[in-house]
């Protein structure tokens, strides 16, 4: 019989960059008694994203941030929406280019993530923020 | 007992830009009697996207469009697929960079969108088009 | 009564580029006896993506690859993570910009893909790789 389970994570970021949440997802999943199902992860903000990325070499996350800092430069004169500073509109653009939501199948009681895949919250603002991530699990 | 509900929205766009559909999603959800569940939104086109974005300041949408117009320029000589004009291939590239589908958990009878999150259809062609968006809701 | 079905596809790519998997998804769906539901497609790698794109003119896929080769250049001196060669980090960046996972509603026994939408595996490495794609179907 299919059932549903929901919760949310509260995360305090320390400024721009990737924060791994894979262990928190696995920990919650383990307590729900679901063998087969679908886990949906949703971030309730327009200046932070979710991302599945390489979880082995920290250089990958540093390179990724350097790439996005160049692709969507802070203080770009193109932008008129600068109410909260030079990183305000770039954070919204990053949220268009990166996922707000992920859905990960559960098979044999585990997320089907590959060996090198980790799940991250990507903070786009230069200052740290309190972020809320909703988890929704449907399965049996 | 989990149930499923589907419908589709027909939207007439007025050319390139973002059209908010949050109210239409909420309106349909309210009539389905689902307290906990998952709403999937899917656009059936390769030249329009779906996007969750900041819903307060219209400057954000204007800045976002200016950013994408610069990132994926119309009439770029790189492109060979120009059958339908200078905005043809750029529309397909935008569809690679932006979501075709969104999944939004439903908790306590409401979409879990954050305060500043709205759901948009993003028309990428310069002329208006008739667009179809499929909604699929699973829950209880 | 809602049921779940899972399987996985093993795909051998022949280097960078798009491989259509729509027919394989439809073939598997047809054997599951599901009329209404949700198909989730998930790629278990950090150097290959999934993408819904135009399925008619092969020029679109060639233009798309040219665009991404310019947007995320191989051998970019920005990158420090070069362990596996000049296409290593660019593959991770492409995986940030393109989907790892797709969810496609099923209505009247068929995927709700539009006329011009095909589902593709996008190999980002210059050499071919063996790739695994997980399918999860929930429906009735």
Q: How confident is the model at residue C82 (pLDDT cuts 50, 70, 90)?
A: very high
Per-residue pLDDT, B72: 98
* Mean pLDDT for all residues in chain C: 98
What pLDDT score does B84 carry? 94
Classify C116 as helix, strand or coil.
Answer: coil
* DSSP for residue A75: T
Question: In angstroms, how far is the first alpha carbon of chain C from the final one?
Answer: 6
pLDDT at position C117 is 98
User: Tokens 């798009």 belong to which residue?
Assistant: C18
Chain B CA closest to residue C58? B81
What tokens appear for C78 in the block? 């920005």
Whether residue A60 lies within 8 A of chain B, CB to CB, comes out as: no
Please report the pLDDT score of residue C100 as a whole number: 98
Nearest to A70 by CA among B89, B76, B71: B71
Give me the mean pLDDT over the C35-50 stretch: 98
Q: Could you report the per-residue pLDDT of B10-42, keeping only the tens digit for each?
A: 999 999 999 999 999 999 999 999 999 999 999
Give me the mean pLDDT over the C91-112 stretch: 98
pLDDT tens readout for residues B37-96: 999 999 999 999 999 999 999 999 999 999 999 999 999 999 999 999 999 999 999 999
| Overall domain count for chain B | 1
Is C90 within 8 Å of C76 (Cβ atoms)? yes
Residue-level pLDDT at A20: 98
Nearest to C42 among A36, A112, A138 (CB): A112
A-C Cβ pairs (cutoff 8 Å, strict)? 87
**A72-95 burial code (b ≥16 CB/10 A, e <16):** beeebeebebeeeeebbbbbbbbb
Confidence at residue C77, expressed as pLDDT on a 0 to 100 scale? 98
* Whole-prediction pTM: 0.98
Contacts of A110 (CB under 8 A, 6+ apart): A26, A29
Give the span between the Cα atoms of C112 and A103, in whole angstroms: 18
Q: How far, in Å, CA of B78 to CA of B88, rounded?
A: 13
Residues 6 or more apart whose CB falls under 8 angstroms from that of C78 comprise A63, A66, A67, A70
- For testing the chain B interface, which of A3, A38, A46 should be mutated: the one with the most B CBs within 10 Å? A46
Q: Give the ipTM of the model, two decimals please.
A: 0.97
**Residues of chain C positioned with their CB less than 8 A from the CB of B99:** 99
What would the pLDDT profile of A79-109 be if each residue is shown by its tens digit? 999 999 999 999 999 999 999 999 999 999 9
Q: Give which of B49, B63, B72, B97 to mutate to test A binding, by max A Cβ within 10 Å.
A: B63
Query: Phi-psi region for residue C93, left (φ > 0), alpha (ψ -120 to 50) or beta?
Result: alpha
Which pLDDT tens digit goes with each residue over A2-16?
Answer: 999 999 999 999 999
Q: C96: distance to nearest CA of chain A, Å?
A: 7
Q: CA of A59, closest CA in chain B: separation in Å?
A: 24
Picking from A114, A122, A124, A137 by the largest number of C CB atoms within 10 A of its own CB, the best residue to mutate is A114
Rounded Cα distance, C14 and C130, in Å: 9
CA B99 to centroid of chain Cα atoms: 7
For residue C102, list chain B residues with Cβ-Cβ distance below 8 A: 100-101
Domain range enclosing B97: 3-139
Q: What DSSP assignment string belongs to C64-127?
A: HHHHHHHHS-TT-TT----TT-TTHHHHHHHHHHS-SEEEEEEETTEE---TTEEEEEEE-SSS
Q: What are phi and psi of B68, to 5 degrees?
A: -70, -30
Structural contact between residues B21 and B132, judged by C-beta atoms closer than 8 angstroms: no
Contact C80 A62 (CB under 8 A): yes
**Number of helices followed by number of strands (H, E) in chain A:** 3, 8
Contact A48, A121 (CB under 8 A): yes
Instruction: Render pLDDT for A43-73 as a digit per residue (tens, 0 to 9).
Output: 999 999 999 999 999 999 999 999 999 999 9
CB contact under 8 A, A78 and B70: yes
**Residue C104: pLDDT band by 50, 70, 90 thresholds?**
very high
Residue with tokens 């075709």: B100
Can you give the CATH number for the domain in which B112 is found?
2.60.120.460
Crossing angle between the packed helical segments C88-97 and A58-71, to the nearest 10 degrees: 60
């Amino acid at each position: 019989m299919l059932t549903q389970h929901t919760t949310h994570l509260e995360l305090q970021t320390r400024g721009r960059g990737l924060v791994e949440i894979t262990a928190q997802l696995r920990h919650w999943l383990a307590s729900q008694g679901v063998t087969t199902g679908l886990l949906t992860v949703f971030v309730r903000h327009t200046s932070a994203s979710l991302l599945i990325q390489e979880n082995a070499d920290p250089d990958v996350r540093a390179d990724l941030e350097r790439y996005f800092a160049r692709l969507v430069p802070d203080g770009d004169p193109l932008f008129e929406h600068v109410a909260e500073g030079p990183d305000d509109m770039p954070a919204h653009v990053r949220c268009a280019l990166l996922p707000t939501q992920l859905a990960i199948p559960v098979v044999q009681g585990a997320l089907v993530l590959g060996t090198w895949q980790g799940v991250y919250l990507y903070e786009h603002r230069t200052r740290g923020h309190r972020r809320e991530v909703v988890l929704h699990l449907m399965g049996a």
